[in-house]
Structure 1
Amino acid sequence: MPAFHQELRTRTRPDHEMVDRSFGRFDLADPADYGRFLTAHARVLPAIERELECAELLTGWSGRRQALEDDLAAMAIPMPRLRASFCFESDAAQWGALYVIEGSRLGGLQLSRRVKEGLPKAYLSAGHEAGGWRHLLARLDEAAEGREWRDAAVKAAKSVFRAYADAAEEAGVHG
């Protein structure tokens, strides 16, 4: 049986691609578009991180919501109303959500290169410490137990991807 993180990546690939398409419409070199991009993230990420802070899945884990708030403040954009609330009722669901938000750090580093010089990019630049992503995947694989657990993790990951895609669509429509 393959490592669970590989299964999770495979089962959520269409969801991940949907998010990439939704956020790919934003021109990060354009300050207004970049502001909408950050606002869309701010409608989802804080609620997820607050829910995961008590889970203590990874020792020393810290989120990026403060960096996101700081970037928005530097652009004189108020924190938006949260789009959704989350209640991850099992450790499997918590792991599924954590996989998505921590995986987005990898893409964030690549996207940070497209942000116009002079715009704040602490949020997108907040990568993992050396070996951090590999450590998370190893812990995820250790935590995975049985089909029901795996299905719950996948379901939560898909719900997080959907929330991000919806927030991106709303920001693009209303921006």
Structure 2
Amino acid sequence: MDSVRNRLRAATALQHERIDAAFSAYQLDQTDGYRAFLQAHALALIPLELTLEQAGIETMLNDWSQRSRRQALLADLQALGCTEPTSAQPDTAPSSGWCWGAAYVVEGSRLGGRVLARRVAEANPSAPLRYLSHGNATPFWPSFLHELEQQAAACGWSEVLAGAHATFERFLSAARSNRS
């Protein structure tokens, strides 16, 4: 039987490609491009984290308070001279399955963040990198995958997939609306 991770990866591969293409349009080697990139992430991530918290993600991932990245993102934006973004309100508290799908996307984005942090640092060594490098010294991804397989498998697949699709779409919409 396929793992939840493999099923999610296969079912969202096209959305993942679209996200990568949309965010690759940002010029991270330039301050304005990097700022716009972070602002787009804030448009998506902040309401997503609030939605997950409203739904009780802390009971699903007991280390959620260490995983949450919105404060790191806000600190980087402030360091770049941005005011706190006005973002969408959190969604109505979704099901546990939806949360697992959304968390899969949010947690998976850390992996790309590591690569992007190196690119940004090479172009601008003084760039704030709290968001992109958040949790680099912690094995968040492997521990997340363990919990995903243990807990999400008991949830309805359609709900898990709906959470992943909705999260990818939120990031894609933010990427397209905030290009510099």
2:174 counterpart residue number: 167
For residue 55 of structure 1, the aligned residue among 42, 57, 64 is 57
1:70 counterpart residue number: 75
1:6 counterpart residue number: 6
In structure 1, the gaps of 5 or more residues are none
Matches within 5 A, 1:83-94: 83=88, 85-94=90-99
1:118 aligns with 2:121: no
Aligned length in residues: 172
Structure 1 residues 32-88: Cα deviation after superposition (integer angstroms, max 9, x where no partner): 000000000111111111122232211122300000000000011112221463234
Give the Cα–Cα distance (whole angstroms) in 1 for the partners of residues 139 and 3 of structure 2.
Answer: 18
- More divergent stretch after superposition (156-165 vs 44-53): 44-53
Give the Cα–Cα distance (whole angstroms) in 2 for the partners of residues 140 and 128 of structure 1.
Answer: 20
2:43 counterpart residue number: 43
For residue 162 of structure 2, the aligned residue among 129, 141, 155 is 155
The answer on whether the counterparts of 2:117 and 2:129 sit within 8 Å (CA) in structure 1 is yes
TM-score (norm 1): 0.91
Percentage of identical aligned residues: 36
The answer on whether the counterparts of 2:57 and 2:64 sit within 8 Å (CA) in structure 1 is no
Give the Cα–Cα distance (whole angstroms) in 2 for the partners of residues 128 and 47 of structure 1.
Answer: 23
- More divergent stretch after superposition (130-139 vs 94-103): 130-139
TM-score (norm 2): 0.89
Give the Cα–Cα distance (whole angstroms) in 1 for the partners of residues 82 and 138 of structure 2.
Answer: 32
1:103 aligns with 2:108: yes
Q: Offset at 1:127? A: 3.0
Q: Offset at 1:101? A: 0.6
Give the Cα–Cα distance (whole angstroms) in 2 for the partners of residues 105 and 74 of structure 1.
Answer: 21
- More divergent stretch after superposition (83-92 vs 28-37): 83-92
Give the Cα–Cα distance (whole angstroms) in 2 for the partners of residues 32 and 117 of structure 1.
Answer: 15
Root-mean-square deviation (CA), in Å?
A: 1.6
Give the Cα–Cα distance (whole angstroms) in 1 for the partners of residues 104 and 137 of structure 2.
Answer: 16
The answer on whether the counterparts of 1:51 and 1:86 sit within 8 Å (CA) in structure 2 is yes
Letter in 2 for 1:135: S
Q: Offset at 1:129? A: 4.8
Q: Offset at 1:133? A: 1.0
1:16 aligns with 2:10: no
Give the Cα–Cα distance (whole angstroms) in 2 for the partners of residues 118 and 131 of structure 1.
Answer: 26
In structure 2, the gaps of 5 or more residues are none
The answer on whether the counterparts of 1:35 and 1:72 sit within 8 Å (CA) in structure 2 is yes
SS in 1 for 2:91: coil
Give the Cα–Cα distance (whole angstroms) in 1 for the partners of residues 72 and 152 of structure 2.
Answer: 30
Give the Cα–Cα distance (whole angstroms) in 1 for the partners of residues 177 and 43 of structure 2.
Answer: 10
Letter in 2 for 1:33: G
